[in-house]
Amino acid sequence: MGPDALAREIARVVKMRDRIAHRGPDNAGLWHDEGGRVILGHRRLSIVDLSPAGHQPMSNEDASIWLTFNGEIYNHAEVHREHRLDERHQFRSRSDTEVMLHLYEERQLGMFELIDGMFAFALWDGPRERMVLARDRMGKKPLYYAAFGGKLLFASEIKAILEHPEVPRQLDLEALDAYLTFSNVPEPLTLFQGIRKLPAAHFMVCDKDGNLKIERYWSPLDAHPWPERSDSGEAVERVRHLLKQAVRKRLMADVPIGAFLSGGVDSSTNVALMSELTSEPLRTFTVDFTGYGEAENFHDVPWARRVTSMFGCKHTEVPVTSDEARAYLPEMVLHQDEPLGDPACLPMHFVSRAAKEAGVKVVLVGEGSDEVFGGYSDFERLTRAHDGRWTTLKRLPHALRRAIYFGARFARAPAGRVDVLRRAAYDEPLYMGLDVVFWDTEKERLFTRKGRSLMKSKSADRVNRYYREILGRRPDADFLQQMSYVELRNRLPELLLMRVDKFSMAHSLEARAPFLDYELSEYVLSLPASLKMADGRTKIVLKDAAAAWLPKDLLERKKQGFRVPLPEWLRNELGPWAEEVLRTSSLRRLGIIDFDYVMGLWSAHRDGKADNSFDLWSLINLSAWYERWFARV
């Protein structure tokens, strides 16, 4: 590459890098090799070793290997010590980045079995002339890439890749179809055709000839043999030990640490353990939706106050109004990169902003607990349905199942029931995921004739792959374990953790999730359903473990979750605005979605005949996203 071409490419990478300056406002770095074949950019959020010695991209001693790394390796000091890296390498910092570099030198692609943390990184291996990209086990840190025209572009956010002028901007219809089912886009797809996301627990190698190879290096199914019978007392003690260990690991930082607190089991357990393991009063943050209290079934604030009083926390309540939520939508669309149907993106923004303003740089969050411990009431309901009516239905001959399905359609049975019968008739899974927006039977009405001709993929094909994975490795897995695994493969990394990462990092805030410690997740997934839910009680083994730190009435309080008063907002304060968004949506130009059907959903919700708030929010979010990234370009 000539000097002019090199200067041009460097300028492009700098523009890409600085497009995500919010992810690393403390420092900016750039490195390229002599010929300009490799250019790495980095934005630094200083958490461990705040000195200039932690500057990235970082190299080994002879500058033959370079690394740009996002995240934290919680056991980097132990790896450094136990593998005696000092004896063979000259360290210049206390950073986990440098440990990763030298560990790669010694173990290459075998390094992943030794590291414990959350990360996305790109490593240039000069001697082997290859680029290595990797994403952590649970998918806490995102990593996107695009390969075209002899180039491999990659970044922590899609908007950085889109800064490169040669990247085409086209809508991926397969991804759109998937979003309208799952309320997120499953890996490796994104809504931008040609841009892909690296799956959790995978690495990719690009060799000198441009060949890409992607491999999975870990699965939650990799743990020791699952116990045939589990003792409740033993499980409680094991969970208690692993959870305390998980929180302790995530207190590693040279900056102030806080916690998001809802007053529920998960966040309260985090606060209890953090308070036990630290000497300073803990900073905690809770969202308070203005005008929505206990009378409206929003219980978080009083429970959070009680927890902070118990542990002497410095507490901040963050008021949020519907007007503030509406005003934030354009910025929300920008930070999401692709739409996330979960309205909890809104409180995540406001609570992250408050933490940043309070001087906190790291927070612990409760994500992941419900997925592995069986915390959703729907899990118990679906398990009963699976073990009862679903199993009975599946024993019937195919012809009879299909007759029942078509009979239900003819009788205009509720859409959810009809789709269950359709899945039984065509050997699709009962459980597709927790946040399904539109079932396939509903999509027949959502899509126009043109849309139906373009959207030919089946949502069940993707989910069936997850079931094949778990049942191939663990044929005796109970139905709760199967549902948990489906969540770990899609909704957790590509919706919940994506939400946490995008909206915390938008405020230069690092969020850590103790309940997604990989050792804890492996162990809890292996436990049978009987230890997690029974007789309307959920997360049994967790609640029994947390009884060492929290009172019983808090542990047994009704689950609220990270709720937003969206149904009420859309019927009242946000109603005129939401209706206008749907009526004027740029998506109408595509001719794919039947907006007469959409406006029917809107009318039914507005008039109180149905709660369509989740479906409508997913479409409002999609419309705003399309307007931002396509209609304006």
> What ranges make up the beta strands (E) of 373-500?
none
Burial of 166 (0-12, 13-18, 19+ CB in 10 A): exposed
Number of alpha carbons in the 13 Å side-chain half-sphere of residue 191: 22
Alpha-carbon Rg for the chain, nearest whole angstrom, is 25
Domains 3-218 and 222-330+345-374+486-554 share a fold: no
Encode pLDDT of 524-545 as tens digits: 999 999 999 998 899 999 999 9
Nearest to 345 by CA among 182, 22, 562: 562
Assign a CATH topology to domain 222-330+345-374+486-554: Rossmann fold (3.40.50)
Task: Please name the helix (run of DSSP H) or strand (run of DSSP E) that holds residue 417, with its range, or none.
Answer: helix 415-425
d(CA 523, CA 526): 5
Q: Give the distance, in angstroms, between the CA of residue 616 and the centroid of all CA atoms in the same chain.
A: 21
Do residues 296 and 568 make contact, with C-beta atoms less than 8 angstroms apart?
yes
d(CA 431, CA 437): 13
| pLDDT of amino acid 296 | 66
User: CA of 408: how far to CAs of 382, 391, 402, 422, 527, in Å?
Assistant: 20, 18, 10, 9, 37
CATH annotation of 3-218: 3.60.20.10
d(CA 610, CA 1): 61
Do residues 108 and 217 make contact, with C-beta atoms less than 8 angstroms apart?
no
| pLDDT of amino acid 6 | 92
96 known ligand binder: yes
Nearest to 263 by CA among 313, 299, 310: 299
Alpha-carbon torsion (432, 437, 442, 443), positive or negative? negative
Ranges of each domain in the chain:
3-218, 222-330+345-374+486-554, 565-633
| pLDDT of amino acid 297 | 63
Nearest to 213 by CA among 131, 156, 142, 106: 131
- The segments of the chain whose pLDDT lies below 50 read none
167's tokens:
């990247």
Do residues 7 and 146 make contact, with C-beta atoms less than 8 angstroms apart?
no
| pLDDT of amino acid 149 | 87
Do residues 134 and 120 make contact, with C-beta atoms less than 8 angstroms apart?
yes
| pLDDT of amino acid 293 | 72
d(CA 141, CA 138): 9
49 known ligand binder: no
| pLDDT of amino acid 633 | 64
Q: What is the DSSP letter of 476?
A: T
| pLDDT of amino acid 295 | 65
| pLDDT of amino acid 333 | 93
Encode pLDDT of 246-267 as tens digits: 999 999 999 999 999 999 999 9
| pLDDT of amino acid 331 | 93
